[in-house]
């Protein structure tokens, strides 16, 4: 029977400066974490589905990121991309009072 992985400790809020993203290895996969200037933390898959661009290197908006390779905009809350069939996977994030970031990576 396969074990289900749920909440995984990724790091600390201080590891991702406001207005930027960082790539983390989490439970055998690469994820991008984004820290908006408003203080929100979002987690997505690390690579753009179009050309594999490193999303953590993209331009971070209030709730969006623009891929650094070809300017495709993705919503950090929903994963919605420029076309209905070109989105990214997003992961639920919780930030604990001690500043630790936990991600629910599901199955």
pLDDT digits (tens, 9 = 90+) for 27-54: 889 999 999 999 999 999 999 998 889 9
> Could you identify the residue written with the tokens 């960082």?
22
Residue 68 belongs to a domain: yes
CATH number at residue 14: 2.102.10.10
Q: How far is CA 13 from CA 3, 69, 73, 96, in A?
A: 28, 26, 24, 10
At 50 the pLDDT is: 83
Res. 1: pLDDT tops 70: no
At 3 the pLDDT is: 46
Q: What pLDDT digit, counting tens, does each position of 71-102 carry? A: 899 999 999 998 888 899 999 999 999 999 99
How does residue 2 score in pLDDT terms, banded at 50, 70 and 90? very low
Residue 17 belongs to a domain: yes
- Tell me the residue range of the domain where 42 lies: 7-104
Tally the domains of the chain: 1
Residue 57 belongs to a domain: yes
Residue 1 belongs to a domain: no
Three-state SS annotation for 41-105 = EEEEECECCCCCCEHHHCEECCCEEECCCCCCEEECCCCCCCCCCCCCCEECEEECCCCEEEEEC
Q: What global pTM score does this model have?
A: 0.91
Residue 83 belongs to a domain: yes
Residue 2 belongs to a domain: no
Residue 47 belongs to a domain: yes
At 106 the pLDDT is: 82
Residue 59 belongs to a domain: yes
């Amino acid at each position: 029977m396969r074990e289900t992985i749920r909440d995984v400790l990724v790091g600390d809020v201080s590891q991702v400066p406001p207005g930027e993203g960082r790539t983390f290895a989490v439970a055998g996969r690469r994820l991008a974490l984004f820290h908006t200037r408003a203080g929100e933390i979002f987690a997505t898959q690390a690579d753009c589905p179009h050309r594999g661009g490193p999303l953590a290197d993209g331009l971070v908006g209030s709730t969006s990121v623009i891929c650094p390779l070809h300017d495709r905009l993705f919503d950090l809350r929903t994963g919605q991309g420029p076309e209905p069939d070109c989105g990214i996977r997003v992961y639920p994030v919780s930030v604990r009072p001690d500043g630790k970031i936990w991600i629910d990576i599901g199955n």
